[in-house]
Chains A and B, each alone.
Chain A
Amino acid sequence: MKPLVVVAPGTRIVLGISFFVLFVAVWAAATFSGFVSKTFLADPLTMVRSGWTLLTEMNFAHDIGMTVWRVLGGFVIAAAIALPLGVAMGAYKPIEAFFEPFVSFARYLPASAFIPLLILWAGIGEAQKLAVIFIGSFFQLVLMIAVTVGNTRRDLVEAAYTLGSSDASLVRRVLIPGAAPEIAETLRMVLGWAWTYVIVAELIGASSGIGHMITDSQALLATDQIIFGIIVIGLIGLVSDLAFKWGNRHLFPWAQLGR
Protein backbone atom coordinates (compact mmCIF):
# COMPACT_ATOMS: atom_id res chain seq x y z
CA MET A 1 0.00 0.00 0.00
CA LYS A 2 1.16 3.50 -0.89
CA PRO A 3 -0.51 6.59 0.58
CA LEU A 4 -3.24 8.19 -1.58
CA VAL A 5 -2.85 5.74 -4.47
CA VAL A 6 -6.29 4.77 -5.83
CA VAL A 7 -7.53 1.17 -5.92
CA ALA A 8 -9.05 -0.45 -9.00
CA PRO A 9 -12.89 -0.30 -9.07
CA GLY A 10 -13.22 -4.09 -8.88
CA THR A 11 -10.88 -4.41 -5.89
CA ARG A 12 -12.75 -1.60 -4.24
CA ILE A 13 -16.11 -3.39 -4.44
CA VAL A 14 -14.58 -6.66 -3.23
CA LEU A 15 -12.96 -4.91 -0.24
CA GLY A 16 -16.19 -3.07 0.59
CA ILE A 17 -18.26 -6.26 0.57
CA SER A 18 -15.59 -8.19 2.50
CA PHE A 19 -16.08 -6.08 5.57
CA PHE A 20 -19.84 -6.68 5.55
CA VAL A 21 -19.13 -10.41 5.32
CA LEU A 22 -16.58 -10.23 8.13
CA PHE A 23 -19.00 -8.25 10.28
CA VAL A 24 -21.79 -10.80 9.88
CA ALA A 25 -19.33 -13.65 10.42
CA VAL A 26 -18.16 -12.22 13.76
CA TRP A 27 -21.76 -11.63 14.78
CA ALA A 28 -22.73 -15.19 13.81
CA ALA A 29 -19.72 -16.67 15.63
CA ALA A 30 -20.50 -14.70 18.80
CA THR A 31 -24.19 -15.69 18.87
CA PHE A 32 -24.22 -19.28 17.53
CA SER A 33 -21.36 -20.32 19.83
CA GLY A 34 -23.39 -19.14 22.80
CA PHE A 35 -20.65 -16.66 23.74
CA VAL A 36 -23.32 -13.92 23.80
CA SER A 37 -26.67 -14.86 25.30
CA LYS A 38 -29.77 -14.81 23.01
CA THR A 39 -31.44 -12.47 25.49
CA PHE A 40 -28.99 -9.71 24.63
CA LEU A 41 -28.27 -10.35 20.98
CA ALA A 42 -30.16 -12.47 18.47
CA ASP A 43 -28.20 -14.46 15.89
CA PRO A 44 -28.35 -13.47 12.19
CA LEU A 45 -30.65 -16.32 11.17
CA THR A 46 -33.27 -15.55 13.82
CA MET A 47 -33.03 -11.91 12.81
CA VAL A 48 -33.74 -12.69 9.16
CA ARG A 49 -36.57 -15.07 10.09
CA SER A 50 -38.33 -12.59 12.38
CA GLY A 51 -37.73 -9.88 9.81
CA TRP A 52 -39.65 -12.01 7.33
CA THR A 53 -42.45 -12.51 9.87
CA LEU A 54 -42.53 -8.75 10.49
CA LEU A 55 -42.89 -8.05 6.81
CA THR A 56 -45.37 -10.81 5.91
CA GLU A 57 -47.55 -11.01 9.01
CA MET A 58 -47.20 -7.79 10.97
CA ASN A 59 -47.43 -5.26 8.15
CA PHE A 60 -43.95 -3.86 8.80
CA ALA A 61 -43.94 -2.47 5.25
CA HIS A 62 -46.52 0.05 6.40
CA ASP A 63 -44.18 1.12 9.24
CA ILE A 64 -41.32 1.55 6.79
CA GLY A 65 -43.56 3.57 4.50
CA MET A 66 -44.64 5.85 7.35
CA THR A 67 -41.06 6.48 8.42
CA VAL A 68 -39.89 7.22 4.88
CA TRP A 69 -42.84 9.56 4.40
CA ARG A 70 -42.03 11.46 7.62
CA VAL A 71 -38.36 11.86 6.79
CA LEU A 72 -39.04 13.03 3.25
CA GLY A 73 -41.95 15.26 4.30
CA GLY A 74 -40.05 17.05 7.06
CA PHE A 75 -36.92 17.26 4.95
CA VAL A 76 -38.66 18.63 1.86
CA ILE A 77 -40.39 21.34 3.91
CA ALA A 78 -37.07 22.26 5.56
CA ALA A 79 -35.24 22.33 2.20
CA ALA A 80 -38.00 24.34 0.50
CA ILE A 81 -37.58 27.16 3.02
CA ALA A 82 -33.85 26.76 3.61
CA LEU A 83 -32.91 27.02 -0.08
CA PRO A 84 -34.23 30.54 -0.79
CA LEU A 85 -33.22 31.81 2.65
CA GLY A 86 -29.72 30.31 2.43
CA VAL A 87 -29.17 31.73 -1.05
CA ALA A 88 -30.40 35.16 0.07
CA MET A 89 -28.09 35.06 3.09
CA GLY A 90 -25.10 33.97 1.04
CA ALA A 91 -25.67 36.61 -1.61
CA TYR A 92 -26.69 39.61 0.48
CA LYS A 93 -24.56 40.37 3.52
CA PRO A 94 -27.14 42.48 5.44
CA ILE A 95 -29.60 39.57 5.27
CA GLU A 96 -26.85 37.28 6.51
CA ALA A 97 -26.01 39.67 9.36
CA PHE A 98 -29.69 39.67 10.35
CA PHE A 99 -30.27 35.90 10.42
CA GLU A 100 -26.87 34.29 10.85
CA PRO A 101 -26.36 34.78 14.62
CA PHE A 102 -29.78 33.33 15.40
CA VAL A 103 -29.41 30.40 13.01
CA SER A 104 -25.96 29.60 14.43
CA PHE A 105 -27.53 29.50 17.88
CA ALA A 106 -30.58 27.54 16.79
CA ARG A 107 -28.66 24.80 15.05
CA TYR A 108 -27.14 23.71 18.36
CA LEU A 109 -30.58 23.24 19.90
CA PRO A 110 -31.07 19.46 20.04
CA ALA A 111 -34.09 18.54 17.93
CA SER A 112 -34.92 15.61 20.20
CA ALA A 113 -35.20 17.90 23.24
CA PHE A 114 -38.07 19.67 21.48
CA ILE A 115 -40.18 16.52 21.38
CA PRO A 116 -42.01 17.11 24.72
CA LEU A 117 -42.77 20.68 23.69
CA LEU A 118 -43.85 19.64 20.21
CA ILE A 119 -46.18 17.00 21.63
CA LEU A 120 -47.71 19.75 23.76
CA TRP A 121 -48.11 22.02 20.76
CA ALA A 122 -48.88 19.63 17.94
CA GLY A 123 -50.06 16.48 19.69
CA ILE A 124 -48.70 13.05 18.78
CA GLY A 125 -49.83 13.17 15.15
CA GLU A 126 -47.80 13.55 11.98
CA ALA A 127 -47.28 17.31 12.45
CA GLN A 128 -45.14 16.64 15.49
CA LYS A 129 -42.95 14.12 13.66
CA LEU A 130 -42.48 16.46 10.72
CA ALA A 131 -41.64 19.30 13.10
CA VAL A 132 -38.83 17.29 14.71
CA ILE A 133 -37.28 16.56 11.31
CA PHE A 134 -37.73 20.19 10.32
CA ILE A 135 -35.99 21.57 13.41
CA GLY A 136 -33.22 19.02 13.06
CA SER A 137 -32.41 19.81 9.45
CA PHE A 138 -33.57 23.37 8.67
CA PHE A 139 -30.95 25.39 10.56
CA GLN A 140 -28.09 23.19 9.40
CA LEU A 141 -29.23 23.51 5.80
CA VAL A 142 -29.62 27.30 5.91
CA LEU A 143 -26.16 27.85 7.30
CA MET A 144 -24.35 25.47 4.97
CA ILE A 145 -26.15 26.80 1.89
CA ALA A 146 -25.37 30.40 2.88
CA VAL A 147 -21.66 29.57 3.29
CA THR A 148 -21.54 27.75 -0.05
CA VAL A 149 -23.17 30.63 -1.93
CA GLY A 150 -20.99 33.18 -0.11
CA ASN A 151 -17.86 31.31 -1.20
CA THR A 152 -18.47 31.90 -4.90
CA ARG A 153 -15.21 32.75 -6.65
CA ARG A 154 -14.89 36.54 -6.77
CA ASP A 155 -13.20 36.50 -10.17
CA LEU A 156 -16.24 34.76 -11.68
CA VAL A 157 -18.46 37.46 -10.16
CA GLU A 158 -16.26 40.15 -11.68
CA ALA A 159 -16.23 38.42 -15.04
CA ALA A 160 -20.04 38.32 -15.01
CA TYR A 161 -20.24 42.04 -14.24
CA THR A 162 -17.89 42.89 -17.10
CA LEU A 163 -20.14 40.82 -19.37
CA GLY A 164 -23.08 43.02 -18.44
CA SER A 165 -24.76 41.11 -15.61
CA SER A 166 -27.08 42.99 -13.28
CA ASP A 167 -27.13 42.18 -9.55
CA ALA A 168 -30.24 40.02 -9.93
CA SER A 169 -28.90 38.08 -12.87
CA LEU A 170 -25.58 37.59 -11.04
CA VAL A 171 -27.47 35.73 -8.31
CA ARG A 172 -29.51 33.74 -10.81
CA ARG A 173 -26.83 32.96 -13.36
CA VAL A 174 -23.60 32.81 -11.35
CA LEU A 175 -24.13 32.38 -7.61
CA ILE A 176 -26.84 29.71 -7.80
CA PRO A 177 -25.48 27.50 -10.62
CA GLY A 178 -21.95 27.75 -9.22
CA ALA A 179 -23.07 26.64 -5.75
CA ALA A 180 -25.58 24.03 -6.94
CA PRO A 181 -23.38 20.89 -6.78
CA GLU A 182 -22.18 21.68 -3.29
CA ILE A 183 -25.73 22.51 -2.18
CA ALA A 184 -26.88 19.12 -3.52
CA GLU A 185 -24.07 17.51 -1.53
CA THR A 186 -25.26 19.39 1.59
CA LEU A 187 -28.81 18.11 1.03
CA ARG A 188 -27.49 14.55 0.78
CA MET A 189 -25.60 14.88 4.06
CA VAL A 190 -28.40 16.53 6.02
CA LEU A 191 -30.92 13.96 4.77
CA GLY A 192 -28.71 11.37 6.47
CA TRP A 193 -29.00 13.27 9.75
CA ALA A 194 -32.78 13.54 9.31
CA TRP A 195 -32.91 9.74 9.49
CA THR A 196 -31.56 9.76 13.03
CA TYR A 197 -34.14 12.35 14.11
CA VAL A 198 -37.12 10.44 12.75
CA ILE A 199 -36.35 7.36 14.82
CA VAL A 200 -36.06 9.49 17.96
CA ALA A 201 -39.36 11.16 17.11
CA GLU A 202 -41.00 7.75 16.69
CA LEU A 203 -39.66 6.36 19.96
CA ILE A 204 -42.04 8.67 21.82
CA GLY A 205 -45.76 8.93 21.17
CA ALA A 206 -46.00 7.11 17.85
CA SER A 207 -48.35 4.34 16.74
CA SER A 208 -46.51 3.45 13.55
CA GLY A 209 -43.06 3.66 12.04
CA ILE A 210 -39.75 1.82 12.39
CA GLY A 211 -38.99 3.61 15.66
CA HIS A 212 -42.34 2.57 17.06
CA MET A 213 -41.69 -1.06 16.15
CA ILE A 214 -38.32 -0.86 17.91
CA THR A 215 -39.88 0.47 21.15
CA ASP A 216 -42.53 -2.26 21.01
CA SER A 217 -39.86 -4.92 20.53
CA GLN A 218 -37.92 -3.57 23.48
CA ALA A 219 -40.84 -4.41 25.78
CA LEU A 220 -40.77 -8.00 24.43
CA LEU A 221 -36.94 -8.26 24.56
CA ALA A 222 -37.13 -9.09 20.83
CA THR A 223 -33.53 -8.16 19.94
CA ASP A 224 -33.97 -9.90 16.58
CA GLN A 225 -36.68 -7.42 15.57
CA ILE A 226 -34.75 -4.42 16.92
CA ILE A 227 -31.70 -5.38 14.89
CA PHE A 228 -33.83 -5.99 11.81
CA GLY A 229 -35.34 -2.50 12.21
CA ILE A 230 -31.92 -0.93 12.57
CA ILE A 231 -30.62 -2.76 9.50
CA VAL A 232 -33.63 -1.65 7.46
CA ILE A 233 -32.89 1.98 8.39
CA GLY A 234 -29.27 1.48 7.37
CA LEU A 235 -30.28 -0.02 4.03
CA ILE A 236 -32.77 2.75 3.24
CA GLY A 237 -30.11 5.32 4.18
CA LEU A 238 -27.60 3.62 1.88
CA VAL A 239 -30.07 3.51 -1.02
CA SER A 240 -31.07 7.17 -0.65
CA ASP A 241 -27.41 8.14 -0.43
CA LEU A 242 -26.55 6.25 -3.60
CA ALA A 243 -29.58 7.73 -5.37
CA PHE A 244 -28.49 11.23 -4.38
CA LYS A 245 -24.91 10.62 -5.54
CA TRP A 246 -26.13 9.23 -8.84
CA GLY A 247 -28.49 12.18 -9.29
CA ASN A 248 -25.78 14.73 -8.52
CA ARG A 249 -23.41 13.11 -10.99
CA HIS A 250 -25.99 13.37 -13.75
CA LEU A 251 -27.25 16.84 -12.87
CA PHE A 252 -23.78 18.37 -12.55
CA PRO A 253 -21.43 16.55 -14.90
CA TRP A 254 -19.12 19.57 -14.99
CA ALA A 255 -18.45 19.34 -11.25
CA GLN A 256 -17.14 15.77 -11.63
CA LEU A 257 -14.47 16.68 -14.16
CA GLY A 258 -10.89 16.62 -13.05
CA ARG A 259 -11.68 15.11 -9.67
Chain B
Amino acid sequence: MNILSIGGVERRFDTTLALQATNLDVAENDFVTILGPSGCGKSTLLRIVAGLDQPTAGEVLLDGRPVRGPGADRGMVFQSYTLFPWLTVRDNVCFGLRERGMPRAQQLEVADAFLAKVGLRGFEHHYPKQLSGGMQQRTAIARALANGPRMLLMDEPFGALDHQTRELMQELLLGIWEAEKKTVLFVTHDIDEAVFMGSRVVVMSARPGRIKLDRAVPLPHPRHYSVKTTSAFTELKAELTEQVRVEVRAAQEAMAAAA
Protein backbone atom coordinates (compact mmCIF):
# COMPACT_ATOMS: atom_id res chain seq x y z
CA MET B 1 0.00 0.00 0.00
CA ASN B 2 1.49 3.35 -1.05
CA ILE B 3 1.48 6.04 1.55
CA LEU B 4 3.21 8.65 -0.59
CA SER B 5 2.85 9.21 -4.29
CA ILE B 6 4.93 11.81 -6.11
CA GLY B 7 3.50 12.37 -9.59
CA GLY B 8 5.24 14.44 -12.30
CA VAL B 9 6.72 16.82 -9.75
CA GLU B 10 8.88 19.48 -11.32
CA ARG B 11 10.54 22.56 -9.87
CA ARG B 12 11.83 25.57 -11.76
CA PHE B 13 13.63 28.51 -10.21
CA ASP B 14 13.03 31.36 -12.67
CA THR B 15 14.40 29.85 -15.86
CA THR B 16 16.57 27.04 -14.43
CA LEU B 17 15.03 23.64 -14.08
CA ALA B 18 16.13 22.19 -10.73
CA LEU B 19 14.00 19.09 -10.77
CA GLN B 20 12.66 17.29 -13.84
CA ALA B 21 9.21 15.73 -13.76
CA THR B 22 9.73 13.10 -11.07
CA ASN B 23 7.62 10.11 -10.11
CA LEU B 24 8.16 8.16 -6.90
CA ASP B 25 5.88 5.93 -4.87
CA VAL B 26 6.71 5.08 -1.29
CA ALA B 27 5.08 2.11 0.42
CA GLU B 28 4.03 2.00 4.06
CA ASN B 29 6.94 1.17 6.42
CA ASP B 30 9.47 1.73 3.64
CA PHE B 31 12.81 3.38 4.32
CA VAL B 32 13.76 5.12 1.07
CA THR B 33 17.13 6.82 0.81
CA ILE B 34 17.65 9.40 -1.92
CA LEU B 35 21.22 9.65 -3.11
CA GLY B 36 22.72 12.16 -5.52
CA PRO B 37 25.42 14.77 -6.13
CA SER B 38 25.01 18.12 -4.41
CA GLY B 39 22.69 20.49 -6.23
CA CYS B 40 20.79 17.67 -7.94
CA GLY B 41 17.48 18.71 -6.44
CA LYS B 42 17.15 15.93 -3.85
CA SER B 43 16.60 18.41 -1.03
CA THR B 44 14.16 20.32 -3.23
CA LEU B 45 12.18 17.13 -3.74
CA LEU B 46 12.09 16.48 0.00
CA ARG B 47 11.04 20.07 0.75
CA ILE B 48 8.21 19.73 -1.76
CA VAL B 49 7.01 16.59 0.02
CA ALA B 50 7.24 18.50 3.31
CA GLY B 51 5.16 21.30 1.82
CA LEU B 52 7.90 23.85 2.44
CA ASP B 53 8.34 24.38 -1.29
CA GLN B 54 5.75 24.28 -4.07
CA PRO B 55 6.24 22.30 -7.28
CA THR B 56 5.86 24.20 -10.56
CA ALA B 57 4.15 21.11 -12.03
CA GLY B 58 2.82 17.79 -10.76
CA GLU B 59 1.57 16.93 -7.32
CA VAL B 60 2.35 15.02 -4.15
CA LEU B 61 -0.28 12.77 -2.62
CA LEU B 62 -0.11 11.62 0.99
CA ASP B 63 -2.63 8.85 1.68
CA GLY B 64 -4.30 9.91 -1.56
CA ARG B 65 -4.77 13.53 -0.48
CA PRO B 66 -2.79 16.29 -2.18
CA VAL B 67 -0.12 18.06 -0.10
CA ARG B 68 -0.85 21.79 0.08
CA GLY B 69 1.58 22.93 2.75
CA PRO B 70 3.62 21.79 5.72
CA GLY B 71 1.84 19.81 8.43
CA ALA B 72 2.32 17.63 11.47
CA ASP B 73 1.61 14.47 9.42
CA ARG B 74 5.09 14.77 7.87
CA GLY B 75 7.74 15.15 10.56
CA MET B 76 11.01 16.65 9.35
CA VAL B 77 14.59 16.54 10.57
CA PHE B 78 16.87 19.15 9.00
CA GLN B 79 20.61 19.16 8.43
CA SER B 80 20.99 22.40 10.39
CA TYR B 81 20.29 22.35 14.13
CA THR B 82 16.69 23.51 14.37
CA LEU B 83 15.88 22.99 18.04
CA PHE B 84 14.26 26.08 19.54
CA PRO B 85 17.09 27.54 21.64
CA TRP B 86 14.72 29.09 24.21
CA LEU B 87 13.11 25.75 25.06
CA THR B 88 14.62 22.93 27.06
CA VAL B 89 15.15 19.56 25.40
CA ARG B 90 11.90 18.31 26.88
CA ASP B 91 9.87 21.36 25.82
CA ASN B 92 11.31 21.08 22.32
CA VAL B 93 9.92 17.55 22.11
CA CYS B 94 6.59 18.80 23.53
CA PHE B 95 6.35 21.60 20.93
CA GLY B 96 4.17 19.81 18.41
CA LEU B 97 2.11 18.08 21.12
CA ARG B 98 1.28 21.41 22.71
CA GLU B 99 0.38 22.74 19.28
CA ARG B 100 -2.25 20.00 19.14
CA GLY B 101 -3.63 20.96 22.54
CA MET B 102 -2.56 17.78 24.34
CA PRO B 103 -2.78 18.08 28.16
CA ARG B 104 0.58 18.87 29.74
CA ALA B 105 0.85 15.66 31.79
CA GLN B 106 0.32 13.58 28.68
CA GLN B 107 2.83 15.71 26.72
CA LEU B 108 5.51 15.01 29.29
CA GLU B 109 4.76 11.30 29.26
CA VAL B 110 5.14 11.11 25.46
CA ALA B 111 8.20 13.38 25.40
CA ASP B 112 10.04 11.45 28.10
CA ALA B 113 9.32 8.15 26.38
CA PHE B 114 10.84 9.37 23.11
CA LEU B 115 13.78 11.01 24.85
CA ALA B 116 14.50 7.66 26.46
CA LYS B 117 14.38 6.00 23.02
CA VAL B 118 17.06 8.32 21.66
CA GLY B 119 19.16 7.87 24.81
CA LEU B 120 18.70 11.35 26.26
CA ARG B 121 17.24 10.47 29.63
CA GLY B 122 18.72 12.90 32.15
CA PHE B 123 19.05 15.73 29.62
CA GLU B 124 15.37 16.84 29.73
CA HIS B 125 16.16 20.18 31.34
CA HIS B 126 19.18 21.09 29.25
CA TYR B 127 19.02 23.85 26.68
CA PRO B 128 20.04 22.96 23.09
CA LYS B 129 23.25 25.00 23.32
CA GLN B 130 24.40 22.76 26.17
CA LEU B 131 24.25 19.69 23.91
CA SER B 132 26.65 18.32 21.32
CA GLY B 133 25.59 18.24 17.66
CA GLY B 134 24.73 14.56 17.84
CA MET B 135 22.58 15.05 20.91
CA GLN B 136 20.78 17.96 19.26
CA GLN B 137 19.94 15.82 16.25
CA ARG B 138 18.76 13.01 18.52
CA THR B 139 16.44 15.51 20.21
CA ALA B 140 15.24 16.65 16.77
CA ILE B 141 14.45 13.02 15.87
CA ALA B 142 12.56 12.58 19.16
CA ARG B 143 10.68 15.83 18.50
CA ALA B 144 9.62 14.68 15.03
CA LEU B 145 8.64 11.18 16.22
CA ALA B 146 6.74 12.36 19.30
CA ASN B 147 4.27 14.06 16.99
CA GLY B 148 3.27 10.66 15.61
CA PRO B 149 3.67 11.64 11.94
CA ARG B 150 2.62 9.41 9.03
CA MET B 151 6.09 9.90 7.54
CA LEU B 152 9.51 11.04 8.62
CA LEU B 153 11.39 13.29 6.17
CA MET B 154 15.12 13.61 6.79
CA ASP B 155 17.33 16.06 4.92
CA GLU B 156 20.94 14.94 5.48
CA PRO B 157 20.25 14.89 9.22
CA PHE B 158 23.72 13.60 10.08
CA GLY B 159 25.56 15.69 7.48
CA ALA B 160 27.03 18.11 10.00
CA LEU B 161 28.24 15.41 12.41
CA ASP B 162 31.69 13.86 12.64
CA HIS B 163 32.18 10.40 11.19
CA GLN B 164 32.06 8.40 14.43
CA THR B 165 28.97 10.19 15.74
CA ARG B 166 27.29 9.75 12.37
CA GLU B 167 27.76 5.98 12.46
CA LEU B 168 26.29 5.76 15.95
CA MET B 169 23.35 7.91 14.87
CA GLN B 170 22.73 5.64 11.87
CA GLU B 171 22.49 2.60 14.13
CA LEU B 172 20.26 4.46 16.56
CA LEU B 173 17.86 5.62 13.86
CA LEU B 174 17.78 2.20 12.23
CA GLY B 175 16.98 0.61 15.58
CA ILE B 176 14.13 3.06 16.11
CA TRP B 177 12.83 2.41 12.60
CA GLU B 178 12.94 -1.33 13.09
CA ALA B 179 10.94 -0.94 16.32
CA GLU B 180 8.47 1.74 15.21
CA LYS B 181 8.12 0.83 11.53
CA LYS B 182 7.78 4.42 10.40
CA THR B 183 7.83 5.35 6.73
CA VAL B 184 11.01 7.33 6.07
CA LEU B 185 12.29 9.43 3.17
CA PHE B 186 15.95 10.10 3.79
CA VAL B 187 18.15 12.38 1.67
CA THR B 188 21.92 11.90 1.79
CA HIS B 189 25.05 12.12 -0.35
CA ASP B 190 26.80 9.43 1.69
CA ILE B 191 26.61 6.11 -0.20
CA ASP B 192 27.43 3.97 2.85
CA GLU B 193 24.67 5.67 4.76
CA ALA B 194 22.17 5.24 1.91
CA VAL B 195 22.77 1.49 1.68
CA PHE B 196 23.04 0.80 5.40
CA MET B 197 19.87 2.71 6.29
CA GLY B 198 17.64 2.16 3.29
CA SER B 199 15.36 -0.68 2.36
CA ARG B 200 15.36 1.01 -1.03
CA VAL B 201 17.91 3.38 -2.58
CA VAL B 202 17.00 5.94 -5.22
CA VAL B 203 19.79 7.64 -7.18
CA MET B 204 19.21 11.05 -8.71
CA SER B 205 20.98 12.51 -11.73
CA ALA B 206 22.88 15.78 -11.84
CA ARG B 207 20.83 18.94 -12.27
CA PRO B 208 18.21 19.06 -13.58
CA GLY B 209 17.52 16.18 -11.21
CA ARG B 210 15.57 13.10 -12.11
CA ILE B 211 15.49 9.58 -10.71
CA LYS B 212 17.89 7.42 -12.71
CA LEU B 213 18.07 4.33 -10.54
CA ASP B 214 15.84 2.64 -8.00
CA ARG B 215 17.23 -0.40 -6.12
CA ALA B 216 15.89 -2.53 -3.30
CA VAL B 217 18.56 -3.19 -0.66
CA PRO B 218 18.91 -6.97 -0.22
CA LEU B 219 20.01 -6.86 3.40
CA PRO B 220 17.89 -8.46 6.14
CA HIS B 221 16.69 -6.69 9.28
CA PRO B 222 17.62 -6.15 12.04
CA ARG B 223 20.86 -4.88 10.56
CA HIS B 224 23.96 -4.89 12.60
CA TYR B 225 26.85 -2.63 11.81
CA SER B 226 28.83 -5.62 10.53
CA VAL B 227 26.65 -5.86 7.37
CA LYS B 228 28.86 -3.15 5.93
CA THR B 229 31.50 -5.83 5.29
CA THR B 230 29.20 -8.37 3.61
CA SER B 231 29.44 -8.95 -0.11
CA ALA B 232 25.79 -7.97 -0.71
CA PHE B 233 26.56 -4.57 0.84
CA THR B 234 29.81 -3.99 -1.01
CA GLU B 235 28.38 -5.06 -4.37
CA LEU B 236 25.48 -2.65 -4.13
CA LYS B 237 27.78 0.06 -2.84
CA ALA B 238 30.12 -0.45 -5.80
CA GLU B 239 27.27 -0.16 -8.28
CA LEU B 240 25.89 2.98 -6.63
CA THR B 241 29.34 4.54 -6.36
CA GLU B 242 29.78 4.14 -10.08
CA GLN B 243 26.34 5.62 -10.81
CA VAL B 244 26.85 8.61 -8.50
CA ARG B 245 30.36 9.25 -9.84
CA VAL B 246 28.99 9.66 -13.34
CA GLU B 247 26.54 12.24 -12.08
CA VAL B 248 29.07 14.15 -10.00
CA ARG B 249 31.30 14.35 -13.06
CA ALA B 250 28.38 15.51 -15.19
CA ALA B 251 27.58 18.19 -12.61
CA GLN B 252 31.18 19.40 -12.64
CA GLU B 253 31.26 19.52 -16.44
CA ALA B 254 28.02 21.50 -16.47
CA MET B 255 29.57 23.94 -14.00
CA ALA B 256 32.72 24.28 -16.11
CA ALA B 257 30.66 24.82 -19.26
CA ALA B 258 28.60 27.50 -17.56
CA ALA B 259 31.67 29.34 -16.24
Contacts and interface: CB of A to CB of B under 8 A. Distances in A.
A253 interface: yes
Q: Which secondary structure characterizes the binding site on chain A?
A: helix
A163 B86 contact: no
Interface stretch (B55-63, B95-103, B105-113, B237-245): B95-103
A169 interface: yes
A158 B52 contact: yes
Interface string B87-98: 100000001100
A205 interface: no
Interface string A219-259: 00000000000000000000000000000000011110110
Contacts of A164: 71-72, 96, 99-100, 147
A254 B78 contact: no
B52 A161 contact: yes
A254 B72 contact: no
Given A155-B82, A162-B72, A164-B72, A257 B127 contact: yes
B70 A174 contact: no
A180 B86 contact: yes
Given A164-B72, A253-B127, A254-B127, A159 B82 contact: yes
Given A177-B86, A254-B85, A257-B129, A159 B72 contact: no
B186 to A, nearest CB: 15
B84 A178 contact: yes
Nearest to B82: A159
Interface residues of B, number: 29
A251 to B, nearest CB: 10
B72 A163 contact: yes
Interface in A144-178: 153, 155-156, 158-166, 169, 173-174, 177-178
A97 to B, nearest CB: 23
Query: Which 10 pairs of residues, A with B, have the shortest CB-CB distance?
Result: A164-B72, A163-B96, A161-B70, A159-B82, A257-B129, A162-B76, A254-B127, A164-B99, A258-B129, A177-B86
Interface of A: 153, 155-156, 158-166, 169, 173-174, 177-178, 180, 252-255, 257-258
28 contacts: A156-B84, A158-B52, A158-B70, A158-B76, A159-B76, A159-B78, A159-B82, A159-B84, A161-B69, A162-B50, A162-B52, A162-B71, A162-B74, A162-B75, A162-B76, A162-B144, A163-B72, A163-B75, A163-B143, A163-B144, A163-B147, A164-B71, A177-B84, A177-B87, A178-B86, A254-B127, A257-B127, A257-B129
Given A158-B70, A177-B86, 19 more contacts: A153-B82, A155-B82, A156-B84, A158-B82, A159-B82, A160-B95, A161-B71, A162-B50, A162-B75, A162-B144, A162-B153, A163-B143, A164-B71, A164-B96, A177-B87, A253-B127, A254-B127, A257-B127, A258-B129
